[in-house]
Amino acid sequence: MTDTARLLARTRELLTANPPVDTDRLDFLRARFDAGLAWVHYPEGLGGLCAPRSLQTVVDAELEAAGAPGNDPRRIGIGLGMAAPTILRFGTEEQKRRYLKPLWTGEEVWCQLFSESGAGSDLAALGTRAVREGKDWVVNGQKVWTSSAHLARWAILIARTDPDVPKHQGITYFICDMTDPGVEVRPLRQITGEAEFNEVFLTDVRIPDSRRLGEVGDGWRVAQTTLMNERVSIGGMRIPREGGMIGPIAKTWRERPELRTHEVHQRLLELWVEAEVVRLTGERLRQQLVLGQPGPEGSGMKLAFARLNQEISGLEVELLGEEGLLYDDWTMRRPELVDFTGREAGYRYLRAKGNSIEGGTSEVLLNIVAERVLGLPAEPRTDKDVPWKDLAR
Longest dimension (CA), the chain: 71
pLDDT digits (tens, 9 = 90+) for 254-278: 999 999 899 999 999 999 999 998 8
273 and 198 inside one domain? no
In a domain, 393, yes or no: no
| Same domain, yes or no: 15 and 82 | yes
In this structure, the answer to whether residues 47 and 23 fall within a common structural domain is: yes
Say whether both 202 and 324 belong to one domain.
no
Whether 387 is covered by a domain: the verdict is no
Residue 389 counted as domain residue: no
- DSSP H helical segments within 237-361, as ranges? 246-255, 262-289, 297-320, 345-351
Which CATH number does the domain housing residue 9 bear? Answer: 1.10.540.10
Of 168, 187, 216, the residue at which a domain comes to its end is: 216
Please indicate, yes or no, whether residues 232 and 211 belong to a single structural domain of this protein: no
Q: Are residues 33 and 166 in the same domain?
A: no
CATH of the domain at 282: 1.20.140.10
The string of DSSP codes covering 125-140 is G---EEEEETTEEEEE
Q: Are residues 179 and 298 in the same domain?
A: no
Domain end, chosen from 70, 105, 140, is at 105
Q: Are the beta carbons of 139 and 202 closer than 8 angstroms?
A: yes
**Residue 31: exposed, middle, or buried by beta-carbon count in 10 A (0-12, 13-18, 19+)?**
middle
Residues 97 and 117 in one domain: no
Establish if 383 belongs to a structural domain.
no
174: helix, strand or coil: strand
Q: Kindly state whether residue 355 falls inside one of the protein's structural domains.
A: yes
Which residue range(s) make up the domain with 191? 110-216
Nearest in space to 284 (alpha carbons), one of 308, 300, 307: 300
Q: Are residues 40 and 164 in the same domain?
A: no
Cα-to-chain-centroid distance, residue 130? 25
156 lies in the same domain as 283: no
* Total domains present in the chain: 3
| pLDDT tens sequence across 203-258 | 999 999 999 999 999 999 999 999 887 766 665 566 778 888 999 999 999 999 99
d(C-alpha 68, C-alpha 178), whole Å: 31
**Is residue 64 a part of any domain in this protein?**
yes
Is position 90 within any domain? yes
* Residue at 288 is within a domain: yes
Regarding whether 339 and 236 lie in a shared domain, the answer is yes
Which residues are identified as catalytic? 230
**Residues 116 and 84 grouped into a single domain:** no
Q: Which of 50, 79, 105 is the last residue of a domain?
A: 105
pLDDT along the chain (393 residues), means of 10: 90 97 97 97 95 90 96 91 95 98 97 90 92 98 94 97 96 98 94 89 98 97 87 65 89 92 93 91 69 66 88 94 80 71 85 84 83 84 86 80
Q: Model-level pTM?
A: 0.88
